[in-house]
Structure 1
Amino acid sequence: MHVPDGFINAPVSAVTGVVAAGAIAVSLRGARRELDERTAPLAGLVAAFIFAVQMLNFPVAAGTSGHLLGGALAAILVGPYTGVLCVSVVLLMQGILFADGGLTALGVNITDMAIVTTVVSYALFRGLVKVLPRTRRSITVASFVAALVSVPAAAVAFTLIYAVGGTTDIAITKVATAMIGVHVLIGIGEAVITALTVGAVVAVRPDLVYGARGLQQRLKLRVNGELVDTPATPAATPGPVPVAARSSHRKVWITGLVTSLVLAGFVSFYASASPDGLEKVAKDKGIDAKAEKHATEDSSPLAGYGVKDISDARVSGGLAGVIGVGVTIVAGTGIFWALRRRRTSDASPTALPEGV
């Protein structure tokens, strides 16, 4: 659902840019509260994983494909504020390096794909986990529903933005019907990917899933004929993460990184080549009549998710995907660790002079 330059006029693009900048500023402050020894390393990986999976377009209808948006996945795994930043980092890398999503439309894309999906999905997720049984399966079910709803919500948001600032004279009812219809189908794919990913992490390290913290059922032991709660595990208590947990954390991180590299570097070659939901609707309804060429299409060596001067499509696309995962994880991890260090320094008491 990457909006290119030319779909939305300059004034509305500027307004969404201000909205996006404000949301990122709020998210930077909020992420400092969410990021800890468990979340900070995982956040950069989540951004890289979203980048990789977004390369895997899946067919949803005749001549139409869809791809992960990632807002629900990021919000549930690392928190809503950090989730907005994760998706924003991905969109920034895609817009600058891969000519995917217009630069003047960056505010539109962040508002639509990062803010709307994250806010809607996490609000719904939190509502569901409050009424569902306090089990790991409930986390997976809530993730599925939240992700499913987040995609048509983003389609509605785009439709509203287009109604205000669209550059072509198309009946908004036609745009809304087409956008919501196809993105409900794409939402099913989003829900499956999100639920499988969250479920896999919850099964191994539930304490690493931000949305699952404090929701795991305590095991019961029968003592003198009565059921009592087991003592809290070290991972469920605040404070430094134990050595064994850090080792398990590294295994999850390495597994996630390897998976991201394989998906972007190899599996992406087999992704659907059909236009995604927005591209299909834009072509069918004439929204793309005033679409503009991307500013970096000719200058970026990675434009179009391929490495220029490499003729083999498999090698070119795979190498571009690997580079994208690498750049995203470095940029994301750098930002999140800086926020984590800022939180730590702010929380530390002022040092007293020696001897006092």
Structure 2
Amino acid sequence: MHVPDGFINAPVSAATGVVAAAAVAVGLRGARRELAGAGAGGVAGAERTAPLAGLVAAFIFAVQMLNFPVAAGTSGHLLGGALAAILVGPYTGVLCVSVVLLMQGVLFADGGLTALGVNITDMAIVTTVVAYALFRGLVKVLPRRRRSVTVASFVAALVSVPAAAVAFTALYALGGTADVAIGKVFTAMVGVHVLIGIGEAAITALTVGAVIAVRPDLVYGARGLAKPLELRTSPLAVPAGAAAPAEGAAPADEPSRPAAAAPAAASASAAPAGAFAASVAPRRSARRVWLAGLAAALVCAGGISYYASASPDGLEKVAHDQGIDAKARDHAAKDSPLADYSVKDITNPRLAGGLAGVIGVGATLAVGTGVFVVLRRRRNADSGEQPGTGSGEQQAAGSGEHQGAGAGRPSESA
């Protein structure tokens, strides 16, 4: 659904550029909170969100190269707003898709440069806002299970694509450069993009479901579904809420506890429930997930993309059939070395397309990760944190984590 130059007139293109710039500014502020782990239930998530957000942008770029057939002579591809919002948050999601659209327009001549505001408004803002609002509503009413997140992802992604088609129709009604009945444009756009939405929903649900299956803590939309951890100082410790033995009395079969266990247990029991959960939450590296995601993106862009459908996508097909492309202009970067997702002067189409895809994944990953790392560092600077250290709350959590790890274990001096 990349809108070329000339579809929308200059005033509306400029207005959408202002809207897009404002949305990106809001997204930058909101993403700083999301990247800092606000409401995430632990600082470990804050430290790994920035590189994962860059990976999400690169993955969306790669999967957008995989056009799939949806009807006779028509194809579709992932838009990615729903996927990004659910994986890394709505504000960060807007930025992820915006980075993808910028790289596609500048490097690959895909989507007009004067229409960049139109494309960000339509494909980044509308899809993300609609998808995440619907997703959150569904998660609240569905059972609190991981499967519910996958189901909600499917529905949200499905609806987001025709919503983007409706938004394009509205923009065309305001600033279309060809004299075409809006009713025909609306019917054609929504009809074909409902079918494309099914493919979007399947890709989104499969991706979200795969990440939830191995690391649900990395899915922004699944936060709060994990069960709280419970510290047990011995295999026979009394669970919370159960009747404790009288003071000074101990079961005959209970083994003696090391002296260091009592203070640790007392301090843990006195801590608030939220701080206690944070102090014992394990810090798990996201490196394997990151490497797996990068490998998947490279395989999609560098190999599978060769087998993508060559049919025009939904917007191109509607534009040709309805005549709304009458005043379309050539892209300013049409002579780019990577134009049309093919490396110039390489005659082998498989190699030319695959290499262009790999370059695109690398460039999108670098730019996206750079943006999110800068945002994360600015968040640390604004909160007075030093590099490699956390806030007072984070330091307390880390201290509690070390105490929890050392509870029940005598010191070396003892």
TM-score norm. by structure 1 comes to: 0.92
- Is the contact made by 1:99 and 1:304 (CA closer than 8 Å) also made in structure 2? yes
Question: Does the C-alpha gap of structure 1 residues 170 and 124 become closer, same or farther in structure 2, counting only changes over 3 Å?
Answer: same
Moved more, 307-316 or 208-217: 208-217
Q: CA RMSD in A?
A: 2.6
Map of 1:328 onto structure 2: 364
Among 157, 182, 192, which residue is 1:172 paired with?
182
Report the Cα distance in structure 1 between the residues aligned to 2:356 and 2:373, rounded to whole angstroms: 25
Please show how residues 219-258 of structure 1 align to structure 2 within 5 Å: 238=278, 242-243=282-283, 245-246=284-285, 249-258=286-295
- 1:204 matches 2:214: yes
Which 4+ residue blocks in structure 1 deviate beyond 6 angstroms? 226-229
Q: CA distance change for structure 1 residues 179 and 343 in 2, over 3 Å: closer, same or farther?
A: same
The residue aligned with 2:153 is 143
Residue segments in structure 2 that go unaligned for 5+ positions in a row: 36-45, 231-235, 243-268, 387-414
From 131, 149, 155, the equivalent of 1:121 is 131
Counterparts in 2 of 1:80 and 1:183: CA distance versus 1, 3 Å:
same
Match of 1:104 in 2: 114
Measured in 2, the distance between the counterparts of 1:80 and 1:228 equals 39
Q: Decide whether aligned partners of structure 1 residues 238 and 303 sit closer, same or farther in structure 2, where only a CA change above 3 A counts.
A: farther
Matched to 2:122, the amino acid is D
- Whichever of the two has the greater Rg, that structure is 2
Aligned residues: 343
Q: Are 1:89 and 1:331, in contact at CA under 8 Å, matched by a contact in 2?
A: yes
Compute the displacement of 1:240 (Å). 11
Q: Distance in 2 between matches of 1:273 and 1:219?
A: 51
Matched, 1:61 2:62: no
Which residue of the partner structure matches residue 23 of structure 1? 23
1:118 is displaced (CA, Å) by: 0.2
What TM-score, normalized to structure 2? 0.79
TM-aligned CA distance change 1:109 to 1:259, over 3 Å: same
User: Does 1:183 pair with 2:193?
Assistant: yes
Partner of 2:353: 317
| Aligned-partner residue type, residue 306 of structure 1 | S
Separation (CA, whole Å) in 2 of partners of 1:124 and 1:241: 30
Aligned amino acid, residue 292 of structure 1: R
Render the CA deviation track for 1:151-194: whole Å, top value 9, x for unaligned: 00000000000000000000000000000000000000000000
Does the residue aligned with 1:126 lie in a helix, a strand or coil?
helix
Deviation at 1:38, TM superposition (A): 2.8
The 1-side partners of 2:277 and 2:318 are apart by 49
Tell me what 1:7 maps to.
7
1:40 Cα deviation after fit: 1.1
Letter of the 1:288 partner, please give it.
Answer: D
1:167 to 1:237, Cα distance in 2 relative to 1, 3 A: farther
Paired position in structure 2 for 1:33: 33
Partner amino acid, structure 1, of 2:179 = D
Candidates 33, 43, 48, aligned match of 2:53: 43
Identity, in percent, stands at 77
* Number of the residue aligned with 2:263: none
Residue 100 of structure 2: aligned partner: 90
Describe the shift of the 1:133–1:320 C-alpha distance in structure 2 as closer, same or farther (beyond 3 A): same
